[in-house]
Amino acid sequence: MPQERALEGKLVVCGVQSGMSERKTLSEKDLLKLVQAGSREAYGEVVRKYMKSAYYIALGIVHNHQDALDLSQEAFVKAFRNIKKFNTDKAFFPWFYRLMKNLCLDHLRKRDRRVEVPLEESQVSCEDEKNRELKATLWRGIAALPFEQRELVILRYFQQFSYQEIAEITAKPVGTIMSSLYYAKKKLKEILAKHLGFERENKREN
């Protein structure tokens, strides 16, 4: 793609100016300071670093490829426009995540108001046929969780963030993360009960 090459070209020019080796060892903090000074090239590096996490989390929230792509990119645009408000002493991703989450929630609110869009189950890849039905059921279960729990499930089990990182990203105490995840899993377990052969649990519930 010619445009991309043009962008890379700029990066090299920039690298030559400030010394190539220096450029490579730039920490995220320095990179973000460059972005605050208006450097789009530096921002490109930040975006490349986080684009996958951003996309997959958005996908987990809105369940649709096109919307997830659109919303995550829009979030990066918004983050760039607001980058001056960002405190470079802190980590970029939690800040960015909150921004993207709000965009996604706005989007969901508008979408839900418009029409009841059926969730795309196919967003879970089922390469092996085994457990296909089970995974589809589980995915529906995740989609039906309250947002606060769904968000945690996505961050923990699909993005492999630690409790500590999730606490930072969502600005909640670790204890809350721990107990919310427990309740989320408990609910998912109940949904899956029939599939997994836990029927006897129903008898014991009361």
Distance CA 86, CA 31 (A): 13
| 31 binding other proteins? (CB under 8 A) | no
Query: Is the CB of residue 10 less than 8 Å from the CB of residue 41?
Result: yes
Site for other proteins in 112-131 (CB under 8 A): 122-125, 128, 131
Site for other proteins in 137-156 (CB under 8 A): 138-139, 146-148, 156
| 194 binding other proteins? (CB under 8 A) | no
| 162 binding other proteins? (CB under 8 A) | yes
Q: Min. distance of Cβ 114 from other proteins in angstroms?
A: 15
Question: Exactly one of 14, 55, 88, 143 binds other proteins (CB under 8 A); which one?
Answer: 55
Distance CA 101, CA 71 (A): 9
Distance CA 187, CA 145 (A): 8
Distance CA 68, CA 52 (A): 11
One-character DSSP codes across 31-87: HHHHHHTT-HHHHHHHHHHHHHHHHHHHHHHH--HHHHHHHHHHHHHHHHHTGGGS-
Contacting positions for other proteins (CB under 8 A)? 1, 3-4, 7, 40, 44, 47-48, 51-52, 55-56, 59-60, 65, 69, 73-74, 76-77, 80-81, 101-102, 105-106, 109, 122-125, 128, 131, 134-135, 138-139, 146-148, 156-158, 162-163, 178-179, 181-182, 185, 188-189, 192, 196, 198, 201
